[in-house]
């Protein structure tokens, strides 16, 4: 393979990895650190430049995308762009690593040259690790709160923010105009620890916990979490008189009741002093009562921002100094391969134990075999280990200077290390296709019993391991056949605990088809897709019959869910041809059909209850978009009623949308519906379509 061909293969692999990690981030289960993601993006950009890839054909990287189904999405008047970052992995024109001081000096030189000035006053502010939020005020009253989203569009979380009680609902003496201020919602460490102690299943870390809390559909109780906010920017204003510098704007915000970290702000005109302040602040990091992942260096004079401009991804008026996570060197003793619930094979580093970020680490993720090869990790290497989000250990780098002679690359297995089945490849991942694989069985059962799936009370991971190892459970239906006496004989159980688990299993039988589908760990079927499949097919029999037709390439079946014409909408919202192929082939597999038969035998509900579904002619099959605040219905309740009547609810307006249901402050969805000629109705008209009195 020639040099260019190798680069093209690496670029395609990077594209797949970036997309995968973006999806994991949006799902709230990131597998790599922000710095690790930045490394992938930087390498992608470097290769794209070397290969001469046209900018319009490059991957549009949006690591902050966080849209959640059921939340209204609005477009930011001014994009919420990420800042350019000083990176320890950046290389200069010679190919050698570029020191942070040199990178910052280069940034200062560019800004001075663009502005034609000899001195550049800047302000250095702490970068609290939380979730970005944008607040719109009119005549001083809070009108709307929106997440950063992908930087161009975000989710409306006004009710959640108001419920917190830590964000000003009124800006004192702000005048009669409109103003948008931006800040961060964050969870102080002490408050996070207090709240976490009350949970049966603790949250991973303050940042992810905060993001999850702000996406709760019902905001009740959020005021008890202790989540706070601080503000750092005025994005735009109409009819509001503001100072001309950033440090004065921070004081202006503070004077009007918005929390800012004014005492932590440093002003200077030199890159040396700016960098020194960042490094000094890093030394204080462990003593702070909140998580902080870096500092932000901004041009102080706001009147210069328009002249400096921006790229499509970051503005030129600021740059971020990211605190490097703690990294420790250790020896990689071996590489093992784990098998997940979907059959995915993942390489795992076995390490000489090393103390990192508060715990001793002896195992660390290597993510996938493509990444393993890209980093050229070999057994016997000295590697650097850190924790993603201070939680998940991972190998981030190899110290090649300490590589032992004869160190060999690890080759991805051709057969599953647990059951010996020949593996299959899908993009950058390797899978064991045998659903009876013991490791896969264990992980699938853990997922099936989990809260997001069948929510079997008392059936935790430790108990799942015992019923697999000692009671021979191999399939979800086997769980429901376990006798109370057998459960009671297991370690740390007893009669009462066993009875509780049996009661939990009985309750779980009535969870319905959507929970079952989610619990079976079918690739590409998460909670939303499971609900949509259940809502459309109603019963497992109907779904499996359709799967057989789809696999047989029945033209009508394929067109039903994956129309050949892109202008036509499939029966399942958001189901593309590639995902449909995977889902229906797996559903039609004998092993999966056997699971459904077993669940039916033990009395598990494999249908959507008739009481919950009442198809209405004017609603069934139609696509609805909800926007604004409805007079009486909460968004979740309106969504539930539409789906129960056979309709679909989408988060965005398109030509495929049948109705936009608009309430107060409808936002950009209303405008887009008008532009596309989509019918706009109010709550009363929706209730009329549903056949309900208003």
392 vs 357, 450, 673, CA distance in Å?
10, 20, 44
Structurally, how many domains does the chain consist of?
Answer: 6
Do 314 and 343 belong together in one domain? no
Pull the structure tokens for residue 662. Answer: 């608009």
Average of pLDDT values for 445-465? Answer: 88
What sign has the CA pseudo-torsion 393, 396, 398, 399? negative
Do 178 and 311 belong together in one domain? yes
Q: Provide the mean pLDDT of the chain.
A: 85
Q: Mean pLDDT highest for which of 77-86, 122-131, 203-212, 340-349?
A: 122-131
Least confident of 147-151, 169-173, 253-257, 443-447: 147-151
Tens-digit pLDDT profile for residues 243-275: 999 999 999 999 999 999 888 999 999 999 999
Residue 336: CA atoms inside 13 Å, Cβ hemisphere, count?
Answer: 9
Whether 479 is in a domain gets the answer yes
Whether 556 is in a domain gets the answer yes
Q: What percent of the chain has pLDDT over 90?
A: 38
- Asked if residue 228 has pLDDT above 60, the reply is yes
Do 357 and 305 belong together in one domain? no
What is the structure's pLDDT at 569?
63
Q: How confident is the model at residue 611 (pLDDT cuts 50, 70, 90)?
A: very low
What values do phi and psi take at 295, rounded to 5? Answer: -130, 160
Average of pLDDT values for 661-687? Answer: 83
- Asked if residue 622 has pLDDT above 90, the reply is no
Whether 83 is in a domain gets the answer no
What is the structure's pLDDT at 562?
80
* Per annotation, catalytic residue among 127, 298, 502, 538: 127
State how far the Cα of 678 lies from the Cα of 356, in Å rounded to an integer.
55
- Asked if residue 118 has pLDDT above 50, the reply is yes
Q: Which domain holds residue 604?
A: 514-612
State how far the Cα of 320 lies from the Cα of 458, in Å rounded to an integer.
46
- Asked if residue 616 has pLDDT above 70, the reply is yes
State how far the Cα of 71 lies from the Cα of 65, in Å rounded to an integer.
14
Do 55 and 199 belong together in one domain? no
- Asked if residue 63 has pLDDT above 50, the reply is no
Q: How confident is the model at residue 574 (pLDDT cuts 50, 70, 90)?
A: low
> The pTM is what?
0.55
Tens-digit pLDDT profile for residues 485-512: 999 999 888 899 999 999 999 999 999 9
State how far the Cα of 138 lies from the Cα of 174, in Å rounded to an integer.
9
Average of pLDDT values for 471-494? Answer: 92
568-575 LR contacts (CB < 8 Å, sep 24+): 569/623, 569/656, 571/536, 571/621, 572/529, 572/532, 572/533, 572/536, 573/532, 573/623, 573/648, 573/650, 574/528, 574/529, 574/532, 575/529, 575/532
Query: Would you say 253 and 231 are in contact if contact means Cβ atoms under 8 Å apart?
Result: yes
Which residues, including other chains, have CB under 8 Å from residue 6's CB and lie 6 or more apart? none
- Asked if residue 339 has pLDDT above 70, the reply is yes
- Asked if residue 516 has pLDDT above 50, the reply is yes
Tell me how far apart the terminal alpha carbons of the chain are, to the nearest angstrom: 68
Last residue of a domain, one of 300, 322, 344: 322
Among candidates 337, 300, 339, 342, which has minimal Cα distance to 317? 300
Q: How confident is the model at residue 391 (pLDDT cuts 50, 70, 90)?
A: low
Whether 579 is in a domain gets the answer yes
Do 131 and 188 belong together in one domain? yes
Pull the structure tokens for residue 676. Answer: 């596309």
Q: For residue 356, what are the β-bridge partners?
A: 359
What is the structure's pLDDT at 536?
86
Q: Mean pLDDT highest for which of 68-72, 169-173, 193-197, 479-483?
A: 479-483
Q: What is the CATH number of the domain that holds 683?
A: 3.40.50.10190
Last residue of a domain, one of 363, 392, 410: 410
Among candidates 538, 534, 550, which has minimal Cα distance to 585? 550
Do 646 and 672 belong together in one domain? yes
Q: Find how far residue 660's CA is from the centre of its chain.
A: 27
Average of pLDDT values for 197-226? Answer: 82
Is 127 among the catalytic positions?
yes
Tens-digit pLDDT profile for residues 523-532: 778 777 888 8
- Asked if residue 368 has pLDDT above 80, the reply is yes
Tens-digit pLDDT profile for residues 65-91: 456 656 888 989 998 888 888 876 676
Whether 88 is in a domain gets the answer no
Do 360 and 467 belong together in one domain? no
Whether 583 is in a domain gets the answer yes
CB atoms within 10 A of CB 237: 16
What is the Cα Rg of the chain in Å?
Answer: 27
Least confident of 222-231, 351-360, 503-512: 351-360
State how far the Cα of 67 lies from the Cα of 61, in Å rounded to an integer.
15
Helices first, then strands: H and E counts in the chain: 24, 22
Question: Cα-Cα-Cα-Cα dihedral of 241, 243, 244, 245, to 10°?
Answer: -150
Q: What is the CATH number of the domain that holds 46?
A: 1.10.287
What is the structure's pLDDT at 52?
80
Helix (H, G, I), strand (E, B) or coil at 559: helix
Q: What is the CATH number of the domain that holds 391?
A: 2.40.50.140
Q: How confident is the model at residue 64 (pLDDT cuts 50, 70, 90)?
A: very low
What is the structure's pLDDT at 145?
95
Q: How confident is the model at residue 377 (pLDDT cuts 50, 70, 90)?
A: very high
Whether 82 is in a domain gets the answer no
Query: Would you say 385 and 393 are in contact if contact means Cβ atoms under 8 Å apart?
Result: yes
What is the structure's pLDDT at 62?
44
Do 118 and 227 belong together in one domain? yes
Which residues, including other chains, have CB under 8 Å from residue 113's CB and lie 6 or more apart? none
Helix (H, G, I), strand (E, B) or coil at 115: helix
Q: What percent of the chain has pLDDT over 70?
A: 89
State how far the Cα of 159 lies from the Cα of 147, in Å rounded to an integer.
12
Query: Would you say 40 and 46 are in contact if contact means Cβ atoms under 8 Å apart?
Result: no
Do 363 and 296 belong together in one domain? no
- Asked if residue 150 has pLDDT above 70, the reply is yes
Last residue of a domain, one of 292, 322, 352: 322
Least confident of 63-67, 89-93, 226-230: 63-67
State how far the Cα of 467 lies from the Cα of 73, in Å rounded to an integer.
45
Q: What is the CATH number of the domain that holds 490?
A: 1.10.150.20
Whether 260 is in a domain gets the answer yes
Do 200 and 234 belong together in one domain? yes
Do 247 and 142 belong together in one domain? yes
Least confident of 424-433, 574-583, 604-613, 639-648: 604-613
Pull the structure tokens for residue 652. Answer: 């965005």
Strands 141-147 and 318-322: what pairing? unpaired
Do 192 and 111 belong together in one domain? yes
Tens-digit pLDDT profile for residues 427-452: 778 888 887 788 888 888 999 998 87
Residue 305: CA atoms inside 13 Å, Cβ hemisphere, count?
Answer: 18
454 vs 5, 273, 620, 634, CA distance in Å?
47, 56, 27, 26
């Amino acid at each position: 393979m020639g040099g260019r061909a190798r680069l093209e293969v690496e670029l395609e692999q990077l594209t797949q990895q970036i997309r995968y990690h973006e999806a994991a981030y949006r799902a709230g289960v990131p597998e790599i650190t922000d710095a690790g993601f930045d490394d992938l993006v930087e390498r992608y950009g470097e290769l794209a430049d070397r290969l001469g890839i046209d900018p319009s054909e490059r991957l549009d990287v949006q690591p902050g995308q966080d849209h959640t189904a059921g939340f209204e999405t609005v477009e930011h008047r001014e994009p919420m762009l990420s800042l350019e970052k000083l990176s320890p992995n950046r290389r200069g024109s010679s190919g050698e690593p570029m020191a942070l001081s040199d990178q910052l000096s280069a940034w200062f030189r560019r800004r001075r040259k663009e502005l034609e000035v000899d001195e550049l006053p800047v302000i250095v502010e702490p970068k609290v690790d939380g979730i970005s939020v944008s607040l719109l005020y009119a005549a001083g009253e809070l009108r709307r709160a929106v997440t950063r989203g992908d930087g161009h569009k975000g989710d409306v979380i006004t009710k959640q923010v108001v419920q917190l009680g830590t964000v000003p609902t009124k800006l004192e003496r702000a005048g009669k105009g409109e103003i948008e201020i931006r800040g961060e919602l964050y969870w102080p460490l002490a408050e996070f620890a207090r709240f976490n102690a009350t949970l049966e299943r603790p949250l991973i870390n303050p940042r992810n916990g905060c993001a999850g809390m702000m996406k709760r559909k019902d905001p009740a109780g959020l005021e008890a979490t202790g989540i706070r906010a601080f503000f750092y920017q005025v994005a735009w204003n109409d009819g509001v008189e503001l100072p001309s510098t950033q440090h004065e704007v921070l004081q202006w915000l503070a004077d009007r009741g918005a929390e800012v970290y004014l005492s932590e702000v440093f002003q200077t005109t030199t890159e040396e002093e700016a960098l020194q302040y960042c490094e000094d602040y890093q030394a204080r990091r462990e003593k702070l009562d909140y998580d902080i992942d870096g500092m932000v260096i901004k041009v102080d004079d706001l009147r210069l921002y328009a002249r400096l401009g921006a790229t499509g991804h970051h503005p030129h008026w600021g740059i971020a100094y990211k605190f490097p996570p703690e990294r420790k060197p250790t020896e990689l003793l071996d590489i093992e391969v784990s098998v997940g619930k979907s059959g995915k094979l993942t390489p795992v580093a076995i390490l000489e134990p090393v103390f990192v970020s508060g715990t001793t680490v002896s195992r660390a993720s290597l993510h996938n075999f493509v990444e393993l090869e890209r980093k050229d990790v070999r057994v016997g290497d000295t590697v650097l280990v850190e924790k993603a989000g201070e939680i998940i250990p991972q190998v981030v780098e190899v110290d090649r200077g300490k590589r032992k002679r004869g160190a060999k690359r690890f080759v991805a297995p051709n057969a599953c290390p647990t059951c010996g089945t020949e593996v299959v490849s899908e993009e950058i991942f390797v899978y064991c296709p045998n659903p009876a694989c013991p490791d896969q069985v264990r992980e699938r059962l853990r997922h099936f019993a989990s809260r997001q799936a069948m929510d079997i009370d008392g059936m935790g991971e430790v108990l799942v391991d015992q019923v697999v190892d000692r009671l021979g459970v191999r399939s979800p239906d086997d769980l429901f056949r376990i006798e109370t006496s057998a459960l009671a004989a297991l370690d740390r159980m007893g009669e009462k605990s066993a009875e509780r688990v049996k009661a939990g299993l009985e309750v779980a039988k009535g969870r319905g088809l959507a929970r079952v589908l989610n619990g079976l760990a079918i690739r590409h079927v998460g909670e939303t897709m499971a609900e949509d499949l259940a809502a459309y097919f109603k019963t497992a029999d109907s779904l499996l019959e359709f799967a057989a037709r789809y696999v047989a390439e029945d033209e009508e079946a394929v067109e039903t869910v994956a129309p050949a014409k892109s202008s036509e909408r499939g029966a399942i919202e958001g189901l593309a041809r590639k995902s449909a192929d995977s889902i229906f082939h797996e559903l039609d597999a004998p092993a999966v059909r056997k699971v459904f038969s077993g669940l039916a035998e033990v009395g598990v509900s494999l249908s959507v209850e008739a009481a919950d579904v009442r198809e209405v002619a004017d609603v069934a099959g139609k696509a609805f978009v909800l926007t604004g605040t409805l007079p009486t219905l909460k968004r979740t309740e309106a969504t539930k009623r539409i789906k129960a009547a056979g309709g679909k609810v989408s988060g965005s307006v398109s030509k495929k949308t049948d109705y936009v249901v608009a309430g107060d402050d409808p936002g950009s969805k209303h405008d887009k519906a008008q532009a596309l000629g989509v019918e706009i109705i109010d709550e009363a008209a929706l209730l009329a379509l549903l056949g309900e009195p208003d």
